[in-house]
């Protein structure tokens, strides 16, 4: 009996060893946790109310809108199924996809869409760009929503597709009670392929695969089409120091790290332990000016003096390194883009400290410090601000740099009495109306009679040729009134572990649906 028992034990042990050494297929190995090294702790994840990139990277996986953007920056249906226009474009009838479920198990219907769009119209960052006075939205069927506008809006579909400050769809019981304050974490409920799990402040935010996700059937293209969650979870970890983000990828502590310094581009491009992910379209730094309060309010001459003193090449070289990563050109949109324009760009990159000093004197400048908000979380922001301060000093303009963490900057920029300028960066959106400096509610608050009239003219027609002509006028006014100062086009880059495959080429934000580990 003892001998037989020993034989059984030896046999069982051999079976365990054999099982442990059997190769695991890719399908069986799928899943795992993707670890994302972010520049900072994000703002709240209520994407309707924020344009903060660190929040949008997470929010893109959790929330969805009626439309989204494909790889050609064109709007495509996401939660919408189809649409038709009536009354010359003033009535938009949208049929919704059926069988889409929220993370709480509830099926999405027109009731949820209407409540979400009404909240966005009232409180969202970009809602009033579509829902002007006299607009309405109502459920005209369980899976049908009708939007009525007082005049046609040529940008309507792009506005419904851009999730940055955009119309994410929440359950009606959440959207109907939400106000201008960010929704609570318990209400981070969307329809995306990942669902919110937990937020441990200063440690991580984790989202988990949503098993009830109903993906579109058409192939993935940019942010559009089929979205598949192949990771069990994604963990977003604040890692403010760029060196730590880089060494963390090299050591295998992280799988993806965002916003790497340009001076490391050549070195990392030849490093087999990482893959470089270069943005497909440029970002551009913007120094916003305060139109609501402070020394720059309504003082266009002083703003122009600051613009005149700024030498872009120096700032771009310091902040992005190799010239392969930047281009000092003044059009808001890059060459090759439909919206590219040279209107007003004779005022870009003048690099004239003497002329700037004379114009500042003419503007009545008396040496009062101009308060500039910046952050070291984005090293390029800090580097550009440092160069900027030196150039202003050469023009006799006194700039006081206020350095805070990114989360604090996001709070302070909403308080007009706290700053005169702040620096951020943007990518070129699919439609100019989505540019933040054209949003009268965005910090900076550019609301002069001239831009208000041009903004209305720009959106009141769907004729693309007419809209392009108005855009030329807007860019000209931009350089006359200087609501923000563009630094230049720059191609940012992130790095990723070689074990991550099938990444979507980043358009605005990196996303990880359809990606997986090898």
Q: Are the C-beta atoms of 318 and 387 separated by less than 8 Å?
A: yes
Q: Are residues 106 and 134 in the same domain?
A: yes
d(CA 169, CA 264): 39
Which of 164, 187, 210 corresponds to the end of one domain?
187
List beta partners, residue 233: 33, 208
Q: Are the C-beta atoms of 73 and 223 separated by less than 8 Å?
A: no
Question: Residue 472 falls within a domain, yes or no?
Answer: yes
How far, in Å, are 219, 295, 301, 362, 374 from residue 355 at the CA level?
55, 20, 12, 11, 26
Q: Are residues 222 and 319 in the same domain?
A: no
Sign of the torsion angle spanned by Cα atoms 414, 419, 425, 427: positive
d(CA 347, CA 469): 19
pLDDT of 38 over the 70 cut: yes
Over residues 100-119, the pLDDT tens digits come to 999 999 999 999 999 999 99
pLDDT at 30: 66
- Contact residues for 149 (Cβ-Cβ < 8 A; gap 6+): 89, 90, 91, 92, 130, 132, 134, 135, 156
Question: Residue 26 falls within a domain, yes or no?
Answer: no
Percent of the chain with pLDDT over 90: 77
pLDDT at 110: 98
Q: Are residues 207 and 327 in the same domain?
A: no
Q: Are residues 297 and 232 in the same domain?
A: no
Over residues 180-223, the pLDDT tens digits come to 999 999 999 999 999 999 999 999 999 999 999 999 999 999 99
pLDDT of 54 over the 90 cut: no
Q: Are residues 478 and 373 in the same domain?
A: yes
Maximum Cα–Cα distance for the chain, whole Å?
A: 106
Locate 46 and state its tokens: 């209520």
Whole domain around residue 67: which residue ranges?
41-187
Query: Which DSSP category does 128 fall into?
Result: G
Locate 389 and state its tokens: 């301060």
Q: Are the C-beta atoms of 152 and 89 separated by less than 8 Å?
A: yes
Q: Are residues 298 and 217 in the same domain?
A: no
Write out the E strands in 129-281. 136-141, 144-148, 194-200, 204-209, 233-238, 256-257, 275-278
Query: Which DSSP category does 113 fall into?
Result: H
Which of 139, 169, 187 corresponds to the end of one domain?
187
Number of H helices, E strands in the chain: 15, 21
pTM for the predicted model, two decimal places: 0.76
Query: What is the CATH classification number for the domain harbouring 253?
Result: 3.40.190.10
Q: Are residues 99 and 130 in the same domain?
A: yes
Q: Are the C-beta atoms of 345 and 281 separated by less than 8 Å?
A: no
Give how far the C-alpha of residue 33 lies from the chain's centroid of Cα atoms, to the nearest Å: 23
Question: Residue 67 falls within a domain, yes or no?
Answer: yes
Query: Which DSSP category does 107 fall into?
Result: B
d(CA 86, CA 93): 8
How far, in Å, are 51, 249, 518 from residue 377 at the CA level?
16, 18, 31
pLDDT of 26 over the 80 cut: no
3-state SS class at 285? strand
Q: Are residues 137 and 273 in the same domain?
A: no
Question: Residue 15 falls within a domain, yes or no?
Answer: no
Report the mean per-residue pLDDT for the chain.
91
Q: Are residues 271 and 295 in the same domain?
A: no
How far, in Å, are 2, 255, 341 from residue 439 at the CA level?
83, 36, 20
Question: Residue 11 falls within a domain, yes or no?
Answer: no
Binned at pLDDT 50, 70 and 90, residue 48 comes out as: very high
What strand order describes the sheet that includes 484-490? 326-327, 484-490, 283-289, 421-427, 370-375, 399-404
Task: Supply the Cα-derived Rg of the chain in whole angstroms.
Answer: 25
Phi/psi for 81 (5° steps) reads: -105, -40
Q: Are residues 425 and 476 in the same domain?
A: yes
pLDDT of 73 over the 90 cut: no
Question: Residue 14 falls within a domain, yes or no?
Answer: no
Q: Are residues 177 and 208 in the same domain?
A: no
Number of domains forming the structure of the chain: 3
pLDDT of 431 over the 80 cut: yes
pLDDT at 23: 35
Question: Residue 326 falls within a domain, yes or no?
Answer: yes
Which of 125, 159, 187 corresponds to the end of one domain?
187
Question: Residue 8 falls within a domain, yes or no?
Answer: no
Q: Are the C-beta atoms of 316 and 328 separated by less than 8 Å?
A: yes
For residues 379-407, give the mean pLDDT. Answer: 95
Phi/psi for 467 (5° steps) reads: -65, -40
For residues 76-97, give the mean pLDDT. Answer: 96
Q: Are residues 308 and 373 in the same domain?
A: yes
Q: Are the C-beta atoms of 452 and 483 separated by less than 8 Å?
A: no
Query: What is the CATH classification number for the domain harbouring 139?
Result: 3.90.76.10
Query: What is the CATH classification number for the domain harbouring 337?
Result: 3.10.105.10
Candidates 512, 518, 516; CA nearest to 223 is 512
Ranking 222-226, 287-291, 491-495 by mean pLDDT, the lowest is 491-495
Candidates 341, 319, 320; CA nearest to 471 is 341
Over residues 134-173, the pLDDT tens digits come to 999 999 999 999 999 998 998 899 999 999 899 999 999 9
Phi/psi for 9 (5° steps) reads: -65, -45
Q: Enumerate the H helices of 252-405 as residue ranges.
A: 265-269, 300-309, 312-320, 353-362, 379-394
pLDDT at 467: 92
């Amino acid at each position: 009996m003892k001998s037989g028992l020993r034989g059984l034990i030896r046999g069982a042990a051999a079976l365990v060893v054999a099982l442990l050494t059997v190769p695991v297929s890719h399908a069986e190995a799928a899943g795992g946790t993707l670890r994302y090294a972010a520049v900072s702790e994000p703002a709240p994840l209520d994407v309707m109310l924020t344009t903060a990139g660190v929040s949008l990277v997470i929010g893109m996986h959790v929330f969805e809108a009626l439309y989204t953007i494909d790889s050609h920056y064109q709007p495509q249906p996401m939660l919408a199924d189809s649409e038709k226009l009536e009354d010359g474009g003033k009535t938009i009838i949208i049929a919704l996809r059926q069988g889409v479920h929220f993370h709480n198990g509830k099926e999405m219907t027109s009731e949820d869409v209407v409540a979400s769009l009404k909240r966005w119209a009232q409180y969202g960052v970009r809602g009033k760009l579509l829902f002007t006075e006299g607009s309405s939205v109502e459920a005209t069927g369980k899976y049908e929503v009708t939007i009525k506008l007082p005049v046609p809006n040529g940008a309507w579909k792009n506005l419904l597709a851009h999730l940055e400050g955009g119309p994410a769809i929440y359950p009606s019981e959440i959207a109907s009670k939400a106000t201008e304050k960010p929704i609570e974490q318990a209400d981070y409920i969307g329809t995306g392929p990942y669902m919110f799990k937990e937020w441990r402040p200063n440690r991580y935010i984790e989202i988990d695969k949503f098993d009830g996700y109903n993906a579109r059937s058409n192939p993935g293209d940019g942010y559009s089409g089929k979205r598949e969650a192949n990771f069990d979870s994604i963990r977003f970890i604040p890692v403010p120091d760029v060196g730590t983000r880089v060494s963390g990828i090299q050591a295998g502590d992280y799988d993806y790290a965002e916003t790497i310094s340009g001076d490391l581009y050549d070195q990392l491009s030849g490093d087999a332990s990482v893959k470089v992910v270069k943005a497909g379209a440029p970002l551009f730094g913007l120094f916003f000016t305060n139109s609501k309060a402070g020394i720059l309010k309504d003082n266009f001459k002083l703003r122009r003096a600051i613009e005149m003193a700024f030498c872009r090449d120096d700032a771009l070289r310091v902040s992005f390194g190799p010239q392969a990563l930047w281009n000092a050109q003044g059009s808001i949109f890059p060459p090759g883009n439909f919206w590219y324009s040279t209107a007003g760009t004779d005022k870009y990159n003048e690099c004239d400290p003497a002329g700037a000093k004379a114009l500042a004197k003419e503007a009545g400048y008396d040496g009062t410090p101009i308060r500039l908000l910046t952050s070291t979380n984005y090293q390029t922001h800090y580097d550009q601000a440092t160069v900027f301060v030196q150039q202003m000093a050469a023009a006799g303009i006194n700039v006081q740099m206020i350095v805070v963490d990114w989360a604090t900057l996001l709070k302070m920029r909403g308080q007009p009495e706290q700053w005169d300028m702040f620096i951020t960066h943007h990518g070129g959106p699919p439609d100019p109306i989505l540019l933040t400096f054209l949003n009268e509610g965005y910090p900076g608050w550019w609301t002069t009679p001239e831009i208000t009239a041009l903004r209305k003219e720009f959106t009141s027609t769907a004729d693309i040729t007419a809209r392009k002509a108005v855009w030329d006028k807007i860019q000209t006014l931009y350089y006359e009134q200087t609501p923000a100062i563009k630094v230049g086009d720059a191609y940012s880059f992130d790095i990723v572990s070689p074990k991550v495959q099938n990444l979507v080429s980043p358009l605005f934000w990196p996303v990880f649906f359809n990606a997986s580990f090898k």
